[in-house]
Amino acid sequence: MTHRILAALALIALTGCAALPAPSPQALRADDIDLARMAAIERAAALHGVKVVWVHAPRRNAVGG
């Protein structure tokens, strides 16, 4: 019985991973990242002894650049 439960859980986990969408090409473009803004935030944080860990880097505006 426990083998069936483990097999079912493994199957559910594998199906969940397969259902994730592939990242869009636009999400992978490094030239859209606002490096100047990141540097300014990191400088300000360093002045206060804080280390910044970026989860989502800030993006440049589509119009203003």
Environment class of 27 (CB within 10 Å of its CB; exposed 0-12, middle 13-18, buried 19+): exposed
Express each pLDDT in 2-52 by its tens digit.
778 877 777 677 666 555 666 665 665 777 899 999 999 999 999 999 999
Residue 32 contacts by C-beta under 8 Å, 6 or more apart in sequence?
26, 59, 60
Residue whose structure tokens are 């880097």: 57
pLDDT, residue 10, reads: 74
pLDDT bin (cut points 50, 70, 90) of residue 53 is very high
Q: Is the pLDDT of residue 65 over 60?
A: no
